[in-house]
């Protein structure tokens, strides 16, 4: 028997999925995993750069692991040399908006201006032009598709997210280990929205646990561009 769902509830559930669902393409196409068949993962970090990003870079460097950093334009303007160091260490830089707004119910003009500002700030300070966009809070909305198209940005979500802004390192590691599979995109945070000197100790500790364990399991790491477009 089919459950009876009131139309309003069904509409709200659909909208929630359209806005937040990692595989939703209602507001534009977005990737959330790479192909299976190759034992590779993409590590991604959102909300940076922050004062603690160099710690993350050091851990990645120790293991020779590339990652993709979705930077916020306002953080790039606050810490331009750290933003630039990310690119200089061979990592990819993506766009994570300028001010990390919650975009639902915002106007398409607001969304476009925020994305453009971030793209310009990242390019000016790092010399890299992002090809990938990750929506703040994973929330997509009207106007994003057009703004991304104009900037040549492709949207990317994640396969597994660490909830590292609230969980302890062991719990973050456990979540990530349970969620990985070939082609997975892992999401952690080297900042906390636009906060100055954010506390990201649990993220760094989780990363110290996670990277060697995943390497031991035979995974290799690639940037988002490599993972999703292996021939380019």
Catalytically annotated residues: 46, 189
Smallest distance from the beta carbon of 232 to Zn ion, in angstroms? 26
CA geometry: angle 63, 66, 71, nearest 5 deg: 125
Q: Rule CB under 5 A: is residue 222 a binding residue for Zn ion?
A: no
For 58, phi and psi rounded to 5 degrees?
-65, -40
The region of 41-49, 101-109, 150-158, 180-188 touching Zn ion under the rule CB under 5 A is: 41-49
Smallest distance from the beta carbon of 90 to Zn ion, in angstroms? 23
Instruction: Give the three-state DSSP class for 101.
Output: coil
* Distance from C-alpha of 42 to C-alpha of 5, rounded to nearest angstrom: 38
The region of 11-19, 40-48, 168-176, 214-222 touching Zn ion under the rule CB under 5 A is: 40-48
Among 24, 42, 43, 47, binds Zn ion (CB under 5 A): 47
Instruction: Tell me if 158 sits within 8 A of 186, measured CB to CB.
Output: yes
Q: Rule CB under 5 A: is residue 46 a binding residue for Zn ion?
A: yes
What mask of x and - would describe binding to Zn ion in positions 127 to 166, judged by CB under 5 A?
Answer: ---------x------------------------------
**Identity of the residue, 48 or 143, whose beta carbon is nearer to Zn ion in the bound complex:** 48
- Nearest alpha carbon to residue 156 among 91, 90, 93: 93
**Identity of the residue, 33 or 134, whose beta carbon is nearer to Zn ion in the bound complex:** 134
Q: Rule CB under 5 A: is residue 202 a binding residue for Zn ion?
A: no
The region of 36-44, 47-55, 142-150, 221-229 touching Zn ion under the rule CB under 5 A is: 47-55
**Identity of the residue, 46 or 92, whose beta carbon is nearer to Zn ion in the bound complex:** 46
Distances (CA, A) of 232 to 22, 87, 211, 222, 225: 24, 19, 25, 13, 8
Report the residue number whose CB is nearest to Zn ion: 46
Cα dihedral: 109, 115, 116, 120 (round 10): 160
DSSP state of 33: B
Tokens of 38: 């190759």
Smallest distance from the beta carbon of 64 to Zn ion, in angstroms? 26
Q: How many positions of this chain bind Zn ion (CB under 5 A)?
A: 3
Instruction: Tell me if 9 sits within 8 A of 16, measured CB to CB.
Output: no
DSSP state of 167: S
What mask of x and - would describe binding to Zn ion in positions 88 to 107, judged by CB under 5 A?
Answer: --------------------
**Identity of the residue, 28 or 136, whose beta carbon is nearer to Zn ion in the bound complex:** 136
DSSP state of 137: G
Give the residues lining the site for Zn ion (CB under 5 A).
46-47, 136
């Amino acid at each position: 028997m089919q459950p009876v769902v009131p139309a309003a509830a069904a509409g709200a559930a659909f909208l929630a999925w359209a806005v937040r669902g990692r595989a939703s393409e209602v507001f534009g196409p977005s990737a959330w995993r790479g192909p299976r068949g190759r034992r590779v993962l993409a590590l991604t970090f959102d909300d940076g750069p922050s004062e603690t990003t160099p710690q993350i870079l050091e851990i990645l460097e120790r293991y020779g692991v590339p990652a993709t950093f979705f930077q916020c334009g306002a953080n790039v303007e606050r810490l331009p040399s750290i933003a630039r160091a990310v690119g200089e260490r061979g990592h990819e830089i993506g766009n994570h908006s300028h001010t990390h707004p919650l975009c639902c119910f915002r106007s398409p003009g607001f969304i476009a201006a925020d994305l453009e500002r971030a793209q310009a700030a990242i390019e000016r300070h790092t010399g890299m032009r992002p090809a990938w966009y990750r929506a703040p809070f994973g929330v997509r909305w009207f106007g994003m598709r057009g703004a991304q198209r104009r900037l040549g940005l492709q949207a990317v979500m994640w396969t597994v997210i660490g909830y590292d802004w609230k969980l302890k390192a062991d719990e973050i590691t456990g979540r990530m280990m349970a969620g990985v599979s070939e082609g997975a995109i892992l999401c952690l945070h080297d900042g906390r929205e636009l906060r100055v000197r954010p506390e990201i100790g649990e993220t760094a500790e989780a990363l110290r646990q996670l990277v060697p364990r995943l390497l031991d399991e035979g995974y290799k790491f690639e940037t988002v561009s490599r993972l999703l477009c292996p021939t380019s």
